[in-house]
Amino acid sequence: MPVDLDDSSTVSGDASVSSTGNQNPPPQSAVKKKRNLPGMPDPDSEVIALSPKTLMTTNRFVCEICSKGFQRDQNLQLHRRGHNLPWKLRQRSSKEVRKKVYVCPVSGCVHHDPSRALGDLTGIKKHFCRKHGEKKYKCEKCSKSYAVQSDWKAHSKICGSKEYRCDCGTLFSRRDSFITHRAFCDVLAEESAKNHTQSKKLYPETVSESQQKSPAAVESPPPSPSPPPVAPSVSVSVESETEPEPANIASSLVLPIQDSSDDPENNTLEVIMEEAPGTIGLNGSNDHSNNSKSVYAALFASSSSSSSPSLYAASSTPSPSLFPPSSSMEPISLCLSTTGPSLFGATIQDPPPPHFLTPLHPPPQPAISATALLQKAAQMGSTGSGGSLLRGLGIVSTTSSPMELSSHEAGFGLGLGLPCSSGSGLKELMMGNSSVFDPKQTTLDFLGLGRAVGNGGNNTGGGLSALFGGGGGMDVFGSGELSDKDTGRRSS
Amino acid sequence: MVVMFQEDNGTSSVASSPLQVFSTMSLTRPTLLPSPSSSPFHSLKDLKPEERGLYLIHLLLTCANHVASGSLQNANAALEQLSLLSSPGGDTMQRVAAYFTEALANRILKSWPGLYKALNATQTRTSNVSEEVHVRRLFFDMFPILKVSYLLTNRAILEAMEGEKMVHVIDLDASEPAQWLALIQAFNSRPEGPPHLRITGVHHQKEVLDQMAHRLIEEAEKLDIPFQFNPVVSSLECLNVEQLRVKTGEALAVSSVLQLHNFLASDVTNNNGHSLSGDSASSLPLSNSRKIIDSFLNAIWGLSPKIMVVTEQDSDHNGSTVMERLLESLYTYAALFDCLETKVPRTSQDRMKVEKMLFGEEIKNIIACEGSERRERHEKLEKWSQRIDLAGFGNVPLSYYSMLQARRLLQGYGFDGYRIKEESGCAVICWQDRPLYSVSAWRCKK
């Protein structure tokens, strides 16, 4: 058990150390050890270099009887007592012990230099394992692996026990990293919010490119205007990590408006504006979106050949298209703001490359949407101005005779006021027309409505009799219970 | 709903059988409306689209009015004009009008049940499964609605199931594998690794479930995650929650996409107090009848799901009168048809299929049917929220990140015109300003 040290030298002196196979029991001291400042070993201390084998072995002291291993000689000695073997506990040597520091044997390592020696044996062993050893311990919850068992244990205690979650969805187990991220993330969020609230700025749109021509078109607008603002460049650079064609992806493109000019309801610009912060915020925090991307991308992954949002497809696993959009579904161009300063400057507002007006686009005539028509009808009804139009069409209203009204129906008509204000306009349109065209009409009630509903239970005379008589004002459908016996009824 | 009303209609006459009524209608055509030979008719053909559209709206309202009040002759005349001007292959308003016209006509016809049945006897009611599947897939492709719904559903499930090792997902309408494929992949790439996943799919068609099982199992095997698919061949109304085989110790998620509104049909009572519920054996008095939707929600609550995500139409198509329903649904379906108009060319057969077999049928159901037949009882999100809340669920607001992704999806896929609004933690998908569908997430409140 005697321990020999070869070639140990002082730190300050010549650092010629060689590896030894020695064993070094740490001295037990009753006096509190003086600790040097980290990074600055005691210049008088003894530098010890141990071999890799020594550093890696866990149990250097082995009992010869039962082969049980111990990390310390003292422990082995105590164990030997149990075998009735001679044992000897070494006392701490009386002479002053020289402080020992350890260097890493791997040349090229930081701690190979005696001036960067570590003061603790355990420390150098751990360092050696971590840096130069094989990572044998793997965390079961995440993919991290460790060479030192205590590292691994410490990690698995906190792995999965998330503490902090940023708004963008990233999880942090440590407060400091969370705060750092938040600072960065919030900046992006605020920035996008500012962009959003500024007057009518054109927002960079992510457009799914489908054809080969698209990249060409994509390239042309961005270089021409002023250098794109931070946000789009962030998105481009971030996406480019995962996407081979960065220009394709988050490139902010401004495209011509569809023929929505006559459609008063078309506030797609607002749509874009609303979505803008979302895009930015999302792009900024790309790292964690892996699983979410897969949620996302999986839904919209497409085969490489099909025309689809390559953005999402390519960035995810190249799985076969799960949801190939039908070929007629090529996404079409997006809205362009014609008001206010454009994010990319006025040049964008030049006529776009014509191929963006895809052939998919409906016939070029200003087709007014059905929604718009309804709104218009409602408007006409409420203002009563539509009469001339309809009169011109030769429309005569529904009945020529006045309808009898019951008193409670007026309230009912009011009660029918639909939440959408134009709904009531439509009613009035009807009413309005009837009033215009049928002077005999007395009151403007919501015709037929009160009758149809309010008088449940008046099943006198069978539902159909009124129909035959022609005088019935009942709901044509009648009651669901009408049976065949009623069909033959006459009106009385 | 039967109302007696005396109308002094000069053109009516006492008739003795339904056929005679029809004949009188054709003979004594009201001179108020232009006859085929007169010039106004010709001019109608020359209407500009906008004018024609407005006229169509007027006609629809008028006709519905007549239908509701029982003046058949006028209704018939209106229908005639409507048929002339509307067309399933025309512009948006024409198409919408075509389907509403058909629905109104159906409504009239249903008052002669014998006639209606005779006419429909030879029609193949059971359309083949592949056509239905095709139309569903078209709806998925042409609209972002299902995509957004699946996205939000999956994200809500993912977030709720963080840290869970055993996850059981129940799909109340397992028709689209896309949704669960995405979830499987998402689970696979979550940091703590995939859980043991079990998906139970409920559908009334076995072939659909088989197909779904095949796709999902294939994917799970590819990714090598522990997965099980349990098909339950049953219609939703007849479903017994025991069939779902929820085990203790697993985290349960329930997904309902456009299914819950069907339950509202099952226990409608008319004003006579007779219950028209599906199992006609019970005629419970109105005040004591437990609404079927409530019992269903309660049953689900009894399973203690960790998360339940509900996608429903967000429109009030459940008004008690035809007129109400017509007005509301005109707006809704105009919006939906507008969506198609901007996306798909008019000549597309697929578009016509979706319009006819999906929307057309919905419209027919809303307008022409009553009682337990009328299954498309869409209601506003508010009402659903109340109902679900009463059943013992608490709202789980959709996360900021989910909404972000949903919006991004709409952008990236080029679905402009669509917007997603947030309404008390739920997402509402709108076309322009018109809310169409809502997605909300709920957890079990104990």
**Is B2–A278 a contact, with Cβ atoms under 8 angstroms apart?**
no
Query: Is A444 part of the contact surface with chain B (CB cutoff 8 Å)?
Result: no
Task: Please list, in sequence order, all residues whose beta carbon lies within 8 angstroms of the beta carbon of residue B26, skipping any fewer than 6 positions away.
Answer: none
Residues of A in contact with B316 (CB under 8 A): 418-419
Q: Which residue has the higher pLDDT, A254 or B299?
A: B299
**Quick one: which H or E segment has residue B414?**
none
Contact A285, B144 (CB under 8 A): no
Mutate to test the interface with B, among A280, A388, A468 (most CBs of B within 10 A): A468
Cβ-Cβ contacts under 8 Å, B434 against chain A: 371, 420
pLDDT at B313 over 90: yes
* ipTM tops the 0.90 cut: no
Q: What is the pLDDT of residue A342?
A: 38
DSSP-based three-state secondary structure for B381: helix
| Strand partners for B438 | B312, B428
pLDDT at A167 over 60: yes
How long a stretch of residues is chain B?
Answer: 446
For B170-197, what is the mean pLDDT?
90
Beta strands at A46-49 and A9-10: parallel, antiparallel or unpaired? antiparallel
- Quote the CA–CA distance of A399 and B7 in Å, as a whole number: 10
> Of the segments A358-362, B33-37, B77-81, B118-122, which one has the largest average pLDDT value?
B77-81
Query: What mean pLDDT do residues A99-105 have?
Result: 82
Closest-CA distance of chain B to residue A158, Å: 12
Tell me if A302 sits within 8 A of A313, measured CB to CB. yes
| Interface A:B, Cβ pairs < 8 A | 430
CB contact under 8 A, B407 and A487: no
Average pLDDT over residues A274-283: 40
Is B393 strand, coil or helix? Answer: strand
User: A473, B6: Cβ pair inside 8 Å?
Assistant: yes
Question: At residue B439, what is the residue type?
Answer: V
Residue A460 is predicted with a pLDDT of 40
Closest CB from B32, B182, B410 relative to A298: B182
Query: Could you read off the pLDDT of B402-427 as tens digits, one per residue?
Result: 999 999 888 887 777 888 999 899 99
How many other CB atoms sit within 10 Å of the CB of residue A58? 9
Number of other CB atoms surrounding residue A158 within 10 Å? 11
Over 70: is that where the pLDDT of A50 sits? yes
Question: Residue type for A23, please?
Answer: Q
Are residues A292 and B405 in contact, defined by beta-carbon separation less than 8 angstroms?
Answer: yes
pLDDT at A359 over 80: no
Residue indicated by tokens 């962030």: A234
Q: How far B307 CA sits from the closest chain A CA (Å)?
A: 18
Q: How far is CA B383 from CA A114, B321, B335, in A?
A: 76, 18, 22
**Dihedral, CA of residue B171, residue B173, residue B176 and residue B179, to nearest 10:** -30
CA B23 to chain centroid, in Å, comes to 37
Q: Which residue has the higher pLDDT, A395 or B295?
A: B295
Question: Over the stretch A59-99, which tens digit does the pLDDT of each residue have?
Answer: 778 888 888 888 888 888 888 888 887 777 777 665 666 67
Give the DSSP per-residue string, A334-359.
-----SS--TT-GGGGSPPPGGGS-T
d(CA A276, CA A201) in angstroms, rounded, equals 10
- How does B130-160 read in b/e, with b if 16+ C-beta sit within 10 Å? eebbebbbbbbbbbbbbbbbbbbbbbbbbbb
Q: Which of residues 132-161 of A touch B (CB under 8 A)?
A: 141-143, 160
Least confident of A77-81, A170-174, B103-107: A170-174
Residues 6+ apart with CB under 8 A from A274: A196, B407, B419
Query: Residue A443 — very low, low, confident or very high, per pLDDT cuts 50/70/90?
Result: very low
Q: Check whether A202 has a pLDDT greater than 60.
A: no
Q: How many CB atoms lie within 10 A of CB A67?
A: 8
Of the CA atoms within 13 Å of residue B288, those in its CB half-sphere come to 4
Q: Which residues of B328-340 are buried (b: 16+ CB within 10 A; e: fewer)?
A: bbbbbbbbbbbbb
Cα separation, B304 vs B299, whole angstroms:
9
Q: What's the rounded mean pLDDT across residues B10-26?
A: 36
Split at pLDDT 50, 70, 90, the class of A35 is: low
Q: State the pLDDT at residue A435.
A: 40
**Between residues B172 and A333, the one the model is more confident about:** B172
* Mean pLDDT (whole number) for A366-391: 71
Inform me whether the pLDDT recorded for B256 exceeds 70. Answer: yes
Terminal CA-CA length for chain B:
41
Distance from CA of A140 to the nearest CA of B (A): 8
Q: Percentage of residues in chain B with pLDDT exceeding 70?
A: 83
Locate tokens 């201390």: which residue?
Answer: A45
Question: Given pLDDT bands bounded at 50, 70 and 90, which one contains residue A486?
Answer: very low
pLDDT in tens, B388-406: 999 999 999 999 999 999 9
- Whole-number Å distance between alpha carbons of A261 and B415: 18
Express as a percent the part of chain A with pLDDT over 70: 31
Q: Cβ-count burial of A408 within 10 angstroms (0-12 exposed, 13-18 middle, 19+ buried)?
A: exposed
Label the pairing between strands B426-431 and A9-10.
unpaired
More confident residue, A154 or B122: A154
Please report the pLDDT score of residue A365 as a whole number: 52
- Banded model confidence at residue B213, pLDDT cuts 50, 70, 90: very high
Is the model's pLDDT at A177 over the cut of 70? yes
Residue B236 makes CB contacts below 8 A (sequence gap 6+) with B172, B173, B202, B204, B259, B262, B263, B296
Cα-based distances in Å from A374 to A269, A389, A426: 22, 15, 8
Check CB contact of A451 with chain B, cutoff 8 Å. yes
pLDDT at residue number B116: 87
Query: How much of chain A exceeds pLDDT 90, in percent?
Result: 0
Q: B10 with A401: CB under 8 angstroms?
A: yes
pLDDT attached to residue A135:
86
| Of A174-188, B288-302, B383-397, highest mean pLDDT | B383-397
**Which position has the higher pLDDT, B129 or B385?**
B385
| Residue B200, pLDDT score | 93
Cβ atoms of A201 and A341 within 8 Å: the answer is yes
Q: Which residues of A touch B69 (CB under 8 A)?
A: 403, 447-448, 451-452, 473-475
Alpha-carbon distance of B8 to B3, in angstroms, equals 16
Please check the confidence at residue A107 and state whether its pLDDT lies above 60: yes
**pLDDT band at A189; cut points 50, 70, 90:** low
Which of A154-163, A187-196, B76-85, B95-104 shows the lowest mean pLDDT across its residues? Answer: A187-196
B227-233/B196-203 β-pairing: parallel
- In Å, how far from its chain's centre is CA B266? 15
User: Taking CB atoms and an 8 Å limit, are B328 and A448 in contact across chains?
Assistant: no
Confidence of residue A162 (pLDDT cuts 50, 70, 90): low
Nearest Cα neighbor of B359 from B164, B139, B209 is B139
User: Distances in Å between the alpha carbon of B429 and those of A61, B351, B423, B440?
Assistant: 72, 21, 10, 11
Q: How far is A200 from chain B (nearest CA, A)?
A: 17
To the nearest 10°, report the CA torsion of A352, A357, A362, A363.
Answer: 70
Per-residue pLDDT tens digits for B122-157: 776 566 778 888 899 999 988 889 999 999 999 999
- Helix (H, G, I), strand (E, B), or coil: what is residue B117? helix
Once rounded to an integer, what is the mean pLDDT over residues A427-433?
52
pLDDT of residue B258: 92
Q: How close does chain B come to A345, measured CA to CA in Å? A: 22
In a mutational test of the B interface, the residue from A323, A333, A416 whose CB has the highest number of chain B CBs within 10 Å is A323
Which residues are bridge partners to B311 per DSSP? B257, B439
> Looking at residue A388, what is its pLDDT?
55
Instruction: Give the residue with greater pLDDT, B157 vs A474.
Output: B157
Whether B312 shows a pLDDT value over 90: the answer reads yes
Cβ-based neighbours of B435, under 8 Å, separated by 6 or more:
B314, B315, B381, B421, B428, B429
From chain A residues 383-402, the ones with a CB under 8 A of any chain B CB are 386, 389-390, 393-402
- Please state, in angstroms and rounded to a whole number, the distance separating the CA atoms of residues A271 and A269: 5
Chain B positions touching A203 (Cβ under 8 A) are: none
Chosen from A475, A483, A485, A487 to mutate, greatest number of chain B CBs within 10 A: A475
Q: Is the pLDDT of residue B286 over 80?
A: no
Which candidate from A290, A418, A475 shows the least CB-CB separation from B68?
A475
Q: Given this model, what pLDDT does residue B264 score?
A: 85
